[in-house]
């Protein structure tokens, strides 16, 4: 019996798994520019329950178009309400995937004119403080925050169902680490994604899914009956 070891042929490499279609779409923000309908509803299924928003394009066209495309592309799946401040607002919109967060850098929208007030239940895009710096992050007002109107925050829609669910979003972590509180670091969330939150903030509330809710079409009018023969 020969003592020479037989050299094994190198194992064939398995093909890399394909990325989910939604993830692939989210890595190309420039392609997500479909015009939104004049009005539509969006349903968020969250860890605390269901929230439904009604969006009105006339309120803030740029913001509504951006939100419409984010929802359609699956951006908000597993997105956390990472900054929840009692008596103020609940903020969300950082992707759980750092690659997606990187892809959206520099793809901000132009500011909309403020036509509505930031009252309780209104949905509004967040910003960095610089002009035209609204990207993927939004917030829901817990109370009437009219002072934000003069700061350029233009509501794009409002909660029509589930405001009690909004009130239940976990707020125990407070503001972000950047604001000197014990909440998540927005910078680390950008660069480390969901694993960072899972390790350090297990009670955080999340969006499980988001979808456009299409209103049922109005029933067609019954055809007119021909006049009876005389």
Pairwise CA distance, residues 211 & 33, whole Å: 17
Specify the pLDDT at position 22: 64
Q: Which fold has domain 38-213?
A: Cyclophilin (2.40.100)
Q: What is the pLDDT of residue 223?
A: 52
Structural tokens at position 36: 């939104």
Q: Quick one: pLDDT at residue 37?
A: 97
| pLDDT tens string 14-38 | 444 444 556 789 999 999 999 999 9
List the beta bridge partners of residue 125: 138
Question: CA-CA distances (angstroms) from residue 133 to 43, 79, 100, 164?
Answer: 26, 20, 17, 30
- Residue identified by tokens 């049922």 is 216
Chain centroid to CA 138: how far?
A: 7
Residue 177 has pLDDT above 90, yes or no: yes
CA distance 152 to 219: 41
Both tokens assigned to 155: 């509501």
CB 95 within 8 A of CB 75: yes
- Note the pLDDT tens digit of each residue in 72-130: 999 999 999 999 999 999 999 999 999 999 999 999 999 999 999 999 999 999 999 89
H helix count then E strand count, the chain = 6, 9
Percent composition of the chain: helix, strand, coil (DSSP 3-state, to 5): 25, 20, 55
User: Phi/psi at 190 (nearest 5 deg)?
Assistant: -60, -45
Residue 225 pLDDT level (bands cut at 50, 70, 90): low
Domain limits, the chain: 38-213
Residue 46 has pLDDT above 80, yes or no: yes
Cα gap 131→109, rounded to integer Å: 10
Average per-residue pLDDT for the chain:
88
């Amino acid at each position: 019996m020969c003592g020479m070891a037989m050299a094994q042929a190198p194992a064939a490499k398995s093909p890399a798994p394909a990325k989910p279609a939604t993830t692939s779409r989210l890595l190309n923000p420039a392609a997500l520019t479909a015009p939104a309908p004049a009005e539509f509803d969006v349903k968020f299924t969250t860890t605390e329950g269901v929230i439904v928003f009604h969006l009105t394009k006339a309120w803030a066209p740029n913001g509504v178009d951006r939100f419409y495309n984010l929802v359609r592309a699956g951006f908000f799946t597993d997105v956390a309400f990472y900054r929840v401040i009692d008596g103020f607002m609940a903020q969300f919109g950082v992707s759980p995937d750092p690659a997606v967060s990187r892809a959206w850098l520099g793809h901000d929208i132009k500011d909309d004119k403020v036509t509505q007030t930031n009252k309780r239940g209104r949905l509004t895009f967040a910003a960095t403080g610089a002009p035209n710096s609204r990207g993927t992050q939004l917030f829901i007002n817990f109370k009437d925050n009219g002072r934000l109107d003069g700061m350029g925050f233009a509501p794009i829609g409002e909660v029509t169902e589930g405001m009690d669910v909004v009130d239940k979003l976990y707020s125990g972590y407070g503001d972000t680490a950047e604001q000197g509180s014990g909440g998540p670091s927005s910078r680390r969330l950008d660069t480390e994604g969901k694993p960072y939150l899972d390790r350090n903030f297990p009670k955080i509330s999340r969006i499980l899914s988001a979808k456009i809710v299409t209103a049922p079409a109005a029933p067609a009018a019954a055809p007119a009956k021909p006049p009876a023969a005389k």
